[in-house]
Structure 1
Amino acid sequence: MTIAKADFIEGIAKGMAVLESFDTERQRLNATLAAERAGLTRAAARRHLLTLAHLGYLETDGSYFWMAPKVLRFSGSYLASSRLPRALQPTLNRLAAQTGESFSAVVLDGEEAVIIARSGAYGTPTRVLAYGLHLGARLPAHATSTGRVLLAAMAPAQFTQWLKGRHLARLTPHTTTQARGLRQLISRVRKDDYCFASEEHELGVQALAVPLRDMQGRTVAALNVVLSGTRYQEEALQREMLPLLFEAAREVRSLL
């Protein structure tokens, strides 16, 4: 969304940049590190850190800062008020009960695929589920089945712009990290209308994803099944799971 310069509140933008500086690589930041990550001066970063701590969104030991539970209010409010997760949850629950596997619904946010709804595998201990498969988890789009489905929904020119100058991190020995290779994979996803990813985000984890489209044909999310611990052949997954995913996508289309 584009707004007029007079409507842009720079202080809020800087505060959000500081808050977004915290991630899995850096759970604790001091003013110097936050300044580097947010593109601010150290003095400005320090003021924003102190303000966020005063408001309860950060905790501090006087030198370093880290996120406080209060930041979950943002995700909680989204999950409680957004129509999309609520519309998809019953279908995810049904699929999990029907198959005994774990399913997720995901949207794209920049370079990351964000889980907005999920159902655990029925009767399966949590310890065997893939790492990071919780509500709000942010996974690298280039290395995940859902991320690739959402990238394939972009117009070719838009995807080219998304890919330009982007570093594709290697997460496992199987991760596609070359732009040319990812282009080929995305082209295949556009043609097949589904994506299979094997051990690219995490060893021992495979996933199959399909797009979720609204009544106008726009892809608004992706649905996938995640399998951990056993290596499946793509053909077997196509035969056993793909019809269920496509059926579910048709079932929820009028709700999106």
Structure 2
Amino acid sequence: MTTTKKEPRSRLLTSVLRALALLDVLADVETSVGASDLAGRVDADRSSVFQQLQTLVHAGWVEQLPDATYRLTLKAFTVANGAMTQAGLGARLTPWLDRLATRAGETASLVMIDGTQAIVVARREPSVAMKANIDIGTSLSMRTSASARILLAVAEPGVVEDLRHAGVETPSDRELAQYRTQGWSEQCDELYPGMHSVAIALRTTQGADAALSLAGPTGRIDRHAVLDHLRAAAAEAPDGMVPPLPRDT
């Protein structure tokens, strides 16, 4: 009689998940935070949160200030740079976005999908007033963001359905087909009141999709001029980034 060996079930480390949750909270606040405040935000007792914070301090992820509050260190940038490199985005990304923002006179951003979120991974501003205030790390709406719209339009089959099954609101299949056909998407006052943005898609040699966008105040954005700037920037994109091949679906 032959027995089938079962694969061991994955066992999640709750302590690690809780420590990572603290990093998420610290990333969402603009100032340093005390242990009691953090405990309330993650619904945990203060003593456990304090131990997790001390562990993160020892690991170099968190800094404890003289007033006994905590804030993130810049170690996250090291990890972020590694993620960008693995996604096929090199060190020339910043000057490339700088040139685009300067030429267009609007805020240039690069957005990628991470799980169920569209995340701003890079952003550069022009030296003009009325910039689009969207920080690196901001999670954008899959339904109303121009960048998320074009990313979903060029995504591999199944990605949109998986997001919908997870409860994420997305554009309709008809809308996505339109974005895919025209090669760009836009939003005007839908993501944020008073903001107009236009986006196109690029793909890295590692197969990751990224949306390149320009955003500015409603009424100042000229879609045709912005598209010209975006397409010119795409032609000058860092090595390893090209427009994705169109799909027939």
Establish whether TM, by shorter chain, passes 0.5: yes
Task: Name which of 88, 91, 111 aligns with 2:93.
Answer: 88
RMSD between aligned residues: 3.7
SS state of the match for residue 143, structure 1? coil
Task: Name which of 20, 26, 31 aligns with 2:24.
Answer: 20
- Count how many residue pairs are aligned between Structure 1 and Structure 2: 226
- With normalisation by structure 2, the TM-score equals 0.70
Identity %: 22
| Aligned pairs for 1:21-100 within 5 A | 21=25, 24=28, 29-35=37-43, 47-49=51-53, 51-52=55-56, 57=62, 68-70=71-73, 72-79=74-81, 82-83=84-85, 84=89, 86-100=91-105
Counterpart amino acid of 2:94? Q
1:199 aligned onto 2:181: no
Instruction: Quote the residue 2:139 is aligned against.
Output: 138
Separation in 2 of the partners of 1:50 and 1:35? 18
Q: Which has the higher contact order (CA 8 A, sep 6+)?
A: 2
Separation in 2 of the partners of 1:146 and 1:113? 8
Instruction: Quote the residue 2:247 is aligned against.
Output: none
In structure 2, relative to structure 1, the CA distance for the partners of 1:117 and 1:158 (3 Å cut) is closer
- With normalisation by structure 1, the TM-score equals 0.69
SS state of the match for residue 192, structure 2? coil
Report the Cα offset of residue 249 of structure 1. Answer: 1.9
SS state of the match for residue 137, structure 2? coil
Separation in 2 of the partners of 1:162 and 1:189? 18
Asked if the contact 2:188/2:218 (under 8 Å) is kept, the reply is no
Asked if the contact 1:112/1:140 (under 8 Å) is kept, the reply is yes
Separation in 1 of the partners of 2:22 and 2:113? 21
Unaligned runs of 5+ in 2: 1-7, 242-249
| Aligned pairs for 1:117-132 within 5 A | 117-121=122-126, 123-125=127-129, 128-132=130-134
Give deviations 1:28-57, integer Å, cap 9, x for gaps.
644354137xxxx88755643564467672
SS state of the match for residue 91, structure 2? helix
Unaligned runs of 5+ in 1: 169-178
Instruction: Quote the residue 1:106 is aligned against.
Output: 111
Instruction: Quote the residue 2:216 is aligned against.
Output: 227
Separation in 1 of the partners of 2:38 and 2:116? 25
Separation in 2 of the partners of 1:103 and 1:58? 31
